[in-house]
Amino acid sequence: MNLKGRSFLTLKDFTPEEIEYLITLAGELKAKKKKGILGSSLKGKNIALIFEKPSTRTRCAFTVGCVDEGAHPEYLGKDDIQLGHKESIEDTARVLGRMFDGIEFRGFRHETVEKLAQYSGVPVWNGLTDDYHPTQILADFLTLKEQFGHLKGLNFVYLGDGRNNMANSLMIGSAKVGINFTIIAPKELWPKQELVELCEGYAKEAGSTITVTDDIQAVEGADALYTDVWCSMGEEDLAAERIKLLQPYQINSALMAKTGKDSTIFMHCLPAVKGKEVTAEVFESEKSVVFDEAENRMHTIKAVMVATLGDYEEPDEA
């Protein structure tokens, strides 16, 4: 499958087959790394890593992914370049596109990463915006595949802030690949109706379902329960209000038991605020796969870079 030259901004832009391909490629790269086999598909490439928002997993995953495949990563923090301040995003994009072979962006406005992709002339990868977090979804799906052996037909439940970038992206990705997806959240924090309707269209094609509800009983039958912090970056002043609103949606042992399945796993994109969206007991339990997800950020991000910029033979399973 040829994704060469493509940007990776949102999973809306990718077919189910392309998403599955990236997950398969990530699995192959992961297996090779475990054997000590590194690649050279990005040899001689220079990668700009732009960070308006701080990061642990995204920064480390892109950096290690670049080095593993022979590229040079250059970290550009918000005080290192003039993106959108002294220089327009369009002009910065055109400068960086002359010097770098690929650009990662992690920040606030999704419009920024879209402009970088439009004007730079090189592949641009979304490391997180206020609207979407697509690289995290690939890591989550690789983790699900490792746990269950497949994606299609799984029952996946997200609890908490149902209109943040994680809920949006999980809904898009799940609908595309045929996962039955449920958001359980207070009505004030439901996703935009237009996005729900778009995902319902994807799900219909894939033979799966989308459910948005405020009833926690909807966890019944779930293969995975997922949550995220109750206050996203930039919303810290809403903390007290959010805690009161979302307390009933905390993932705890009693809620895990409500699924009725011993095989249900707990997932979180991290960082977590233990005692708020999830109890320490569940977070530290054998049902928790959060550090598998964290590691898989590296393998899936590497796969995105290799597929869109590198020279690599296709996986046998693709």
Q: How far is CA 248 from the centre of its chain?
A: 25
Helix (H, G, I), strand (E, B) or coil at 128: strand
Domain boundaries, the chain: 11-133+295-309, 136-294
Where residue 316 falls among pLDDT bands split at 50, 70, 90?
A: low
Whether 288 and 282 have beta carbons less than 8 Å apart is answered as yes
Residue 233: what pLDDT? 66
Indicate yes or no: pTM above 0.85.
yes
pLDDT score of 82: 84
| Amino acid at residue number 301 | I
Q: What is the mean pLDDT of residues 57-69?
A: 98
Q: List phi, psi (to 5°) of 167.
A: -60, -45
Does residue 277 surpass a pLDDT of 70?
Answer: yes
pLDDT, one tens digit per residue, over 192-205 is 999 999 999 999 99
Question: Is 299 tagged catalytic?
Answer: no
Tokens of 73: 């990563």
pLDDT of amino acid 317: 46
**Residue 129 is labelled as binding a ligand:** no
DSSP for residue 236: G
pLDDT in tens, 135-190: 999 999 999 999 999 999 999 999 999 999 999 999 999 999 999 999 999 999 99
Do the annotations mark residue 106 as ligand-binding? yes
Task: List pLDDT tens digits, range 238-256.
Answer: 788 899 999 999 999 999 9
Q: Are 318 and 2 in contact (CB under 8 A)?
A: no
94 labelled catalytic: no
The residues, ordered by sequence, that sit 6+ positions from 101 with a Cβ below 8 Å of its Cβ are: 45, 46, 47, 71, 122, 123, 309
Based on the residue annotation, tell me whether 6 is a catalytic residue of this protein: no
pLDDT of residue 231: 87
d(CA 163, CA 166): 8
**109: annotated active-site residue:** no
Let me know if the fold of 11-133+295-309 is the same as that of 136-294.
yes
Q: How far apart are CA 291 and CA 230, in angstroms?
A: 20
Written out in words, the top-level CATH class of the domain with range 11-133+295-309 is alpha beta
Determine whether the annotation assigns residue 57 to a binding site. yes
262 annotated binding-site participant: no
Q: Catalytic annotation on 269?
A: yes
Mean pLDDT of all residues belonging to the chain: 96
Q: Which of 140, 228, 242, 268 is catalytic?
A: 228
Active-site annotation holds for 130: no
By the 8 A CB rule, do 280 and 302 touch?
no
Q: Which pLDDT does position 318 carry in this prediction? A: 40
Residue among 130, 136, 223, 250 flagged as catalytic: 136
Please give the CATH number for the structural domain made up of 136-294: 3.40.50.1370
To the question of whether residue 120 is assigned a binding role by annotation, the answer is: no
CA 55 to chain centre: 13
